[in-house]
Amino acid sequence: MQRLSAVIIAKDEADRIEGAIASVRFADEVLVVESGSADDTAARARAAGARVVQADWPGFVAQKERATRLAAHEWVLSLDADERVPPRLAVEIGAVMANPRGCVGFSVPRLSWWEGAPVRRGTWWPDRRLRLFDRRFGRWGGEDPHDHVICDGPTAQLHAPLYHHPYRDLAEHLRTIDHYTALSAEGLRRRGGAWGGWLRPWAHLFKALVLKRGLLDGQRGLSLALLGAAAVSLKWQRAAAPPDDPAGP
121 and 212 belong to one structural domain: no
pLDDT bucket at 243, cuts 50 / 70 / 90:
low
Q: Which of 112, 144, 164 is the last residue of a domain?
A: 164
pLDDT (tens digit, 9 = 90+) per residue, 146-194?
999 999 999 999 999 999 999 999 999 999 999 999 999 888 887 776 5
Distances (CA, A) of 1 to 27, 95, 96: 12, 9, 9
177 and 147 belong to one structural domain: no
Q: 245 lies in a domain?
A: no
Mean pLDDT of 29-55: 97
Q: Which of 114, 139, 164 is the last residue of a domain?
A: 164
pLDDT (tens digit, 9 = 90+) per residue, 62-93?
999 999 999 999 999 999 999 999 999 999 99
Count of the separate structural domains present in the chain = 2
42 and 141 belong to one structural domain: yes
pLDDT bucket at 246, cuts 50 / 70 / 90:
very low
Q: 200 lies in a domain?
A: yes
Compute the distance between CA of residue 124 and CA of residue 143 in angstroms, rounded to an integer: 20
184 and 233 belong to one structural domain: yes
97 and 189 belong to one structural domain: no
pLDDT bucket at 221, cuts 50 / 70 / 90:
very high
pTM of this structure: 0.92
142 and 229 belong to one structural domain: no
Which residue range forms the structural domain that includes residue 190?
Answer: 170-240
Q: 247 lies in a domain?
A: no
158 and 192 belong to one structural domain: no
Q: 248 lies in a domain?
A: no
120 and 216 belong to one structural domain: no
Q: What is the DSSP string of 143-169?
A: ETTEEEEEESS-EEE--SPEEE---SS
Q: 249 lies in a domain?
A: no
pLDDT (tens digit, 9 = 90+) per residue, 206-215?
999 999 999 9
Q: Which of 164, 185, 216 is the last residue of a domain?
A: 164
182 and 114 belong to one structural domain: no
Please give the backbone phi and psi of residue 247, each rounded to the nearest 5 degrees, phi first. -90, 0
33 and 111 belong to one structural domain: yes
